[in-house]
Structure 1
Amino acid sequence: MEQFFEMGRGTTSDEKLKKVLFSTDGILGYKESIQKELEKRFEYVKYIEKDIHQDCKKDIFYKILREISKKLNDKNFLKKLFKKYQQKYIDKLMDNFSEKFDYFFVVAGQEFSKEFINELRKRNPKIKCIFFLWDSLELTALKNSAFEYDYIFSFDKEDCQKYNFYFRESFYTDECLKNISKFSEKKYDICYIGGLRDRKRYEIIKEFQKYCDNYNLKSFFRIFYNKKLIKILNKEEREAKFLTEEKISYDKNQEIAKNSRVILDLNAKGQSGLTLRVPEAIASDTKIITTNQNIKEYDFYNENNVYILEKIEDIKNIPITFFKEECQVLDHRIKRRYSTEGFVEEIFNVVEGENNYE
């Protein structure tokens, strides 16, 4: 059920009377940006971070039972006891909600248990539960509860085809539109910030560092590692200047990206969807070099703005003009589609049946 949506419908009077419970990832700016758009559209918006009351943090017995129960089947006495305790904290949390909700909207946030969603439905009989994934299903810890929702959207086309999800691209937040430098005034020619997932990622950045040194390009490369992953590199490789144990905050990450002419986008193994770096680049009129071959299928694709890297050996063949010639500005309608505003509008157009597909 891979589906593409169109923009253009405004908020209806019926929607303005509806109420939304929503949750999202803790990444800076996402909660605020999504909430602002939901508040434009609906009468009442309530944010929820987790699926049980915060008092459970103080309950040592609950924590012990939770860990033990992970290895037990549903018929086990301790498993049943844990579920009883879990229900107590779910009830305590929901007793704080005085409103009846029309929607439960989760954007790649914390995992909400089956028990929580069932109780939410019991207390809100007309509620529609909506879930958006910006990770491939097999790469996320949220896969255990994903199928409890009425509407499941994913940024990954392959997951949409495999699991019959609705397809919807990831989006950029309002923060991405602030303090954007002109192309000619950007501080860096290219940037990459990410984790050390495998040797290939290290080897790609190493080759890009050589390329930048050869052409006197200013780069900002950082790969974060932990003690376990660093073992995939030998002693000499670990001396690379772009390797670090210190993570960069998300706001600093965005600042660097907005001050770069080109963003390097490296997909994780098994991931076909666009990473968050791509809509962020769209927001700031930044060029993209990517290992994602599927990027050609998207409406924003322009070979002047996007260079597809098929193999490491191709790095040395990237024309230097790609870093020198300005990014071609996208049509404002396309740019809006990748905004939080466009994202929220499309999701609820589908849920309310405004977009119907065979």
Structure 2
Amino acid sequence: MRRKKALFICNPMYGYYKNIILELELHGWNVDYCNDKPTENSFFKGMMKIKKSLLKPLVKKYFDKLISEIKEKNYDLVFITNCKVFTTEMIKQMRNIQKSARFVLYMWDSLKLYPDNIDLIPLFDDAYSFDLEDCEKIDGLKFLPLFYCRGFEKVGQMLEEDVKYDIASVCTAHPNRYKIMRVLFPKLEANGVRIFSYMYLNKLQYLYNRVRVPEFKGVKSNEFKFIPLSEKENLEVLKRSNNVFDIPHINQSGLTMRTIETLGARRKMITTNVDIKKYDFYNENNIFVMDEWNLEEIEDFINRKYEPIDDEVYRKYSVSNWLDTIINDEDNKYLASKIG
């Protein structure tokens, strides 16, 4: 029997694409992969957020090269995450070349951050998003939460014998996150709470933020890291942590990747996202929703024991189950009781 063939277009940051490719292969697919943008150069990524229009010639050259590489191939699936740089005309051109392929889009960022992508949705056979609010507002967009990879599942099977941190925080330094963390963390540390904090920021974005973003006025470069943690490094931090701290982007309602990874690692979480209470894995013993900076409540939560959740609910958020939905376009099983 012929193995089905997929073209997978995805951002390589944090290595999620490797886990998705592995799962596709385990599901019996041959996979061709390409980056969702021409380069991982810091300048390019910074300009994507500051002045995207200046990058059009480079994007066009990159897309033309991609078209020349795939025009003689026949794919069963073209699977694109986020689609940050390709235009509607480019997707139409790709569809014209791959007429027999099923085209699938998955958004793991909010459409408030990438509003141009709203016009892309009708061009795909199926389009999904992690953001429930986007799915409720936009026709043709199906709700599908993010996933945890197999490495986090392994962490979840480990005994917490060598705990080094009471709270682990690994994130991109968005303004709302930085504003809260720069005040809250020193107060917790003054009370003896052990915190691992790793705030990543693109260098060009850092320079822009210092000048243009009020929350970053007066910041120092040593407050940030300019290289993101690898998945392996992140897993090592989780192994020695009891709780994970997470603040979603102010323009997103969907649960972050960090949230689902915390679920996979069977760790407790402190978050500001009240929408987490809608999900079937929510347990107030494991998840503290911080609406005020009440240090005593946070410290009390940190000392609680993790309470195991139902195994069927746990498995539902695995990368394998996530990919089953992408491949097979299963009925949406994420919107029953409490989204589960």
Any conservation in 1 of the 2:175–2:215 contact (CA below 8 Å)? no
Selected match of 2:280 from 288, 294, 299: 299
Matches within 5 A, 1:25-40: 25-40=11-26
* TM-score (normalised: structure 2): 0.78
Counterpart-to-counterpart distance in 2, 1:68 and 1:350: 37
Any conservation in 2 of the 1:29–1:174 contact (CA below 8 Å)? no
More displaced 10-residue stretch of structure 1: 226-235 or 292-301: 226-235
**Residue 86 of structure 1: CA displacement?**
7.6
Counterpart-to-counterpart distance in 1, 2:308 and 2:167: 18
2:194 maps to 1:218: yes
Counterpart-to-counterpart distance in 1, 2:194 and 2:81: 35
Counterpart-to-counterpart distance in 1, 2:34 and 2:227: 27
**What is the match of residue 325 of structure 1?**
304
**What is the match of residue 229 of structure 2?**
249
**What is the match of residue 65 of structure 2?**
89
Q: Percent of counterpart pairs with the same letter?
A: 26
Counterpart-to-counterpart distance in 2, 1:233 and 1:138: 20
Closer, same or farther: CA 320–128 of 1 in aligned 2, 3 Å: same
Q: Which amino acid in the other structure matches residue 26 of structure 2?
A: K
**Residue 138 of structure 1: CA displacement?**
1.9
**What is the match of residue 108 of structure 1?**
82
Counterpart-to-counterpart distance in 2, 1:354 and 1:168: 8
**What is the match of residue 196 of structure 1?**
173
**What is the match of residue 265 of structure 1?**
246
Selected match of 2:209 from 197, 208, 229: 229
2:100 maps to 1:126: yes
Closer, same or farther: CA 29–319 of 1 in aligned 2, 3 Å: closer
Closer, same or farther: CA 219–270 of 1 in aligned 2, 3 Å: same
User: What's the secondary structure of 1:22's corresponding residue?
Assistant: strand
Closer, same or farther: CA 161–326 of 1 in aligned 2, 3 Å: same
The number of residues matched between the two structures is: 311
Matches within 5 A, 1:135-174: 135-140=109-114, 143=117, 146-147=120-121, 148-164=123-139, 165-174=141-150
Closer, same or farther: CA 20–305 of 1 in aligned 2, 3 Å: same
Cα RMSD for the two superposed structures: 3.4
**Residue 49 of structure 1: CA displacement?**
2.6
Any conservation in 2 of the 1:25–1:110 contact (CA below 8 Å)? no
Counterpart-to-counterpart distance in 2, 1:309 and 1:40: 39
Computing the radius of gyration from Cα coordinates, the structure with the larger value is 1
1:110-157 deviations in Å (ceiling 9; x for gaps): 543434432332233222110111110121387276323221100001
Closer, same or farther: CA 93–177 of 1 in aligned 2, 3 Å: same
User: What's the secondary structure of 1:20's corresponding residue?
Assistant: strand
Q: Which amino acid in the other structure matches residue 41 of structure 1?
A: H
Q: Which amino acid in the other structure matches residue 209 of structure 1?
A: P
User: What's the secondary structure of 2:23's corresponding residue?
Assistant: helix
Closer, same or farther: CA 247–260 of 1 in aligned 2, 3 Å: same
Selected match of 2:152 from 154, 167, 176: 176
Closer, same or farther: CA 21–27 of 1 in aligned 2, 3 Å: same
Closer, same or farther: CA 246–32 of 1 in aligned 2, 3 Å: closer
**What is the match of residue 324 of structure 2?**
345
Any conservation in 2 of the 1:51–1:113 contact (CA below 8 Å)? no
Q: Which amino acid in the other structure matches residue 277 of structure 1?
A: R
Closer, same or farther: CA 230–130 of 1 in aligned 2, 3 Å: same
Any conservation in 1 of the 2:9–2:79 contact (CA below 8 Å)? yes
2:320 maps to 1:335: no
User: What's the secondary structure of 1:138's corresponding residue?
Assistant: coil
Counterpart-to-counterpart distance in 1, 2:332 and 2:183: 48
* TM-score (normalised: structure 1): 0.74
Counterpart-to-counterpart distance in 2, 1:331 and 1:349: 25
2:30 maps to 1:44: yes
| Structure 1: gaps spanning 5 or more residues | 1-12, 53-65, 71-78
Counterpart-to-counterpart distance in 1, 2:15 and 2:216: 38
Closer, same or farther: CA 247–47 of 1 in aligned 2, 3 Å: closer
